[in-house]
Amino acid sequence: MQLLINPSDELPIYRQIMRQITEAIAGGRLKSGDKLTSHRELSEHLVIAPLTVKKAYDELEALGYIETQRGRGTFVCATLPETDRADQAEQIRQSARRLLSQAYLAGLGFQEVVKVLEEADRELTEGPPALQHPASKTQETQ
């Protein structure tokens, strides 16, 4: 998978990496057992400090999404962290209410929100649109 970072974002670079990998796992673009790019390769590819990549991987490992196997590399965990479904369901209901009220206040109708959700689903499962066009691989503003 291809990662994009934007150094002038207010979100630290390591968090941008964490978010993209979590989204790829959620959307099934990264599956259990898939190998991640090594620290060094990713650091040189994205032109960012190796410690920044290490921090992102360490945090994802602490959260139980990925694991490092000595001498073999870093992989998506075979079993992803268990979450309390009932607890999550309540949080998701709350997020949905917030999303809908924000949309209605902005003048969007229910069907339009559904469209937005479908777009988001495509981005999660197929990758962000920028990644589907090889010509627009970077979106960094200098």
Partner 1 sequence: MTPILEFHNISRSFKKDVPVLNGVSFSMTEGEVVGLLGRNGAGKTTLIRIAMGMLFPHTGTVRVFGLSPTDEPVAVKKRIGYVAEEQVLPVGSSIAELIALHRYLFPSWDPALERQLLDRFGFAGTAAKIRHLSKGQARQVALICAVCHRPELLILDEPAGGLDPAARREFLETSIQLLNREGTAILFSSHHMNDVERLGGRVVLLDDGKVRLDRQLDQIHEDHCVAMIPRSAVPASDAIESLPGCLRARPVFEDWHAVFQGTPEAVRRRLQESLGLQDVRCVSVPLEELFVELVGSKRLEEVS
Integer Rg of the chain from CA: 17
Identified binder of partner 1 from the candidate list 31, 33, 47, 86, rule CB under 8 A = 47
- The helix (H) or strand (E) run that includes residue 76 is strand 73-76
By CB under 8 A, residue 62 contacts partner 1: no
Residue 11 in contact with partner 1, rule: CB under 8 A: yes
Determine the Cα–Cα distance for residues 77 and 64; give it in Å rounded to an integer.
Answer: 7
Q: Strand 35-36 to strand 73-76: parallel, antiparallel, or no bridges (unpaired)?
A: antiparallel
The one-letter amino acid code at 76 reads V
Which element (helix H / strand E) includes 22? helix 13-26
Q: Which of residues 98-127 bind partner 1 (CB under 8 A)?
A: none
8 binds partner 1 (CB under 8 A): yes
Which residue lies nearer to partner 1 by CB, 44 or 90? 44
Kindly indicate which of the ranges 7-15, 17-25, 87-95, 96-104 contains the residues binding partner 1, using the contact rule CB under 8 A.
7-15
User: Could you list the residues that contact partner 1 (CB under 8 A)?
Assistant: 7-14, 40, 43-44, 47-52, 55, 140, 142
